[in-house]
């Protein structure tokens, strides 16, 4: 009996739960996330967006403590906050400047996605979440623009209400729900305040979802599939954290310069006058980041079709993964260099010209400029993208 071997119950199993290494935490997983080594500075815009979003939420929560959504009190409470509260002017300046920088960075982020085909499989879900984020941010920005209840705030809400009212059949009902009556007033402010506040936290949740999908699917590469190979990747820290930090610092310098030295770039003087329903401003226009869509709205004679064209300019972004349905994730210009460059240039120029047309109220020569810009914008999505997808399938190069 003494020579009988003992049963192996004391042998340490490689599969024993108490001997497994602890699960990797979120922070360590993020820092060790491997990304293509050739990511350029356009990829730092995402980090800039996260920083500005945190700034916007923090400053917005503080501003909301002193705001009263009432047509008779809203303007005076904003003025009192800015002129009398300690550092109130700084809080509002941070919030106003942050809105413009956030929209600018968001447009750059979308443009980078179009350039490098971030919408291609397996990242269609990532693109769709990003476009929905764009829509949510635009609605939030518009609601925030109404809240100060200055001249432009009031008449901006009035123009938006009439545009919604142009929808056949359900337009009058939607306009009544939007305004809370026949014209902008206290019910409108209550609706915009709740919408602005609710969507702000919804955006935070959508950003978390966006980042989670990015981690699950991985980032694309400026050099296409070749750059996404494991041998061509580097850990997020320290290689990309340093690059992101540099981008955030540069953005912070530009942010401070605009806020302190050129605030007129992101503010509207007419909105520092209280809303007056009896005096229509000579030039009613939205913030600069809505001007391209405002120009498209005005370029069409019909209110309903103008609203359709303007809203479709955002909706078409949701259709991009199917308009350009190539399965590989290589950037457009790897195959269609010169043609893709011209097409992207036409898209950018069209977007800018549509904004300038909206700034000049699409009158005179700007009417035709706005129409041509609208045509050029849609030609990229409905013309160039399907063409290059079909050409790729047939093996045609340009």
At 184-243, the pLDDT tens digits run 999 999 999 999 999 999 999 999 999 989 888 888 878 777 666 677 778 888 888 899
What range does the domain containing 327 cover? 292-398
| Among candidate residues 318, 286, 306, the one with its CA nearest the CA of residue 158 | 286
- From 246, 263, 284, the end of a domain falls on 284
Residue 34, SS3 per DSSP? strand
Q: How confident is the model at residue 395 (pLDDT cuts 50, 70, 90)?
A: low
One domain for residues 306 and 202: no
Task: Please report whether residue 305 resides in a domain.
Answer: yes
Which residues are identified as catalytic? 215, 219, 243-244, 287
**Mean pLDDT (whole number) for 317-334:** 80
Q: Are 117 and 183 in contact (CB under 8 A)?
A: no
Task: Please report whether residue 14 resides in a domain.
Answer: no
Is residue 19 scored above 90 in pLDDT?
no
Task: Please report whether residue 182 resides in a domain.
Answer: yes
* Cis peptide, bond prior to residue 12, ω within 30 of zero: no
The full DSSP string for 144-168 is HHHTT-BHHHHHHHHHHHHHHHTST
Count CA within 13 A, CB hemisphere, residue 340. 21
Is residue 250 scored above 90 in pLDDT?
yes
Residue 35, SS3 per DSSP? strand
Q: Are 321 and 385 in contact (CB under 8 A)?
A: no
**Mean pLDDT (whole number) for 177-183:** 90
One domain for residues 260 and 307: no
Q: H or E stretch including 136?
A: helix 124-146
* Cis peptide, bond prior to residue 238, ω within 30 of zero: yes
- From 259, 284, 309, the end of a domain falls on 284
Q: How confident is the model at residue 32 (pLDDT cuts 50, 70, 90)?
A: confident
One domain for residues 329 and 396: yes
Task: Please report whether residue 11 resides in a domain.
Answer: no
- From 240, 262, 284, the end of a domain falls on 284
Whole-number Å distance between alpha carbons of 397 and 377: 23
Total count of domains within the chain:
2
Helices within 236-301 (DSSP H only): 236-261, 291-299
pLDDT digits (tens, 9 = 90+) for 278-307: 888 878 889 999 999 999 999 998 889 999
Q: Are 147 and 112 in contact (CB under 8 A)?
A: no
């Amino acid at each position: 009996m003494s020579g009988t071997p003992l049963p192996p119950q004391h042998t340490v199993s490689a599969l024993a739960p108490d001997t497994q290494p602890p699960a990797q935490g979120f922070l360590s997983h993020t820092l060790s996330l491997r990304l293509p080594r050739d990511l350029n500075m356009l990829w730092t815009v995402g980090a800039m967006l996260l920083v500005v979003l945190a700034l916007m939420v923090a400053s917005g929560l503080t501003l909301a403590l002193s705001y009263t959504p009432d047509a008779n009190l809203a303007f005076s409470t904003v003025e009192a906050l800015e002129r009398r509260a300690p550092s109130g002017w700084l809080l509002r300046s941070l919030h106003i400047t942050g809105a413009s920088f956030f929209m600018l960075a968001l447009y750059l982020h979308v443009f980078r996605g179009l350039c490098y085909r971030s919408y291609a499989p397996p990242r269609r879900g990532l693109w769709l979440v990003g476009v929905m984020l764009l829509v949510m941010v635009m609605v939030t920005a518009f609601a925030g623009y109404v809240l100060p209840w200055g001249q432009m705030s009031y008449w901006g809400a009035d123009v938006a209400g009439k545009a919604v009212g142009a929808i056949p059949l359900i337009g009058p009902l939607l306009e009544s729900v939007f305004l809370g009556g026949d014209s902008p007033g206290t019910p409108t402010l209550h609706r915009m305040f709740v919408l602005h506040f609710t969507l702000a936290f919804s955006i935070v949740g959508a950003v978390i979802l966006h980042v989670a999908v990015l981690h699950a699917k991985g980032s694309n590469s400026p050099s296409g599939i070749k750059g996404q190979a494991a041998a061509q990747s580097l850990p997020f820290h320290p290689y990309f954290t340093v690059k992101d930090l540099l981008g955030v610092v540069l953005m912070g310098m530009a942010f401070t310069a605009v806020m302190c030295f050129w605030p007129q770039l992101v503010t509207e003087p007419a909105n520092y006058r209280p809303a007056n329903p009896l005096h229509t401003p000579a030039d009613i226009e939205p913030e600069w980041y809505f001007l391209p869509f405002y120009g498209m709205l005005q370029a069409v004679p019909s209110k309903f079709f103008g609203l359709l064209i303007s809203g479709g300019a955002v909706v078409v972004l949701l259709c991009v993964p199917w308009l350009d349905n190539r399965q590989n994730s290589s950037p457009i210009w790897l195959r269609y260099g010169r043609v893709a460059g011209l097409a992207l240039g036409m898209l950018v120029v069209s977007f800018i010209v549509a904004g300038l047309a909206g700034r000049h109220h699409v009158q005179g020569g700007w009417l035709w400029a706005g129409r041509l810009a609208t045509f050029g914008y849609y030609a990229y999505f409905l013309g160039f993208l399907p063409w290059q997808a079909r050409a790729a399938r047939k093996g045609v190069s340009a």
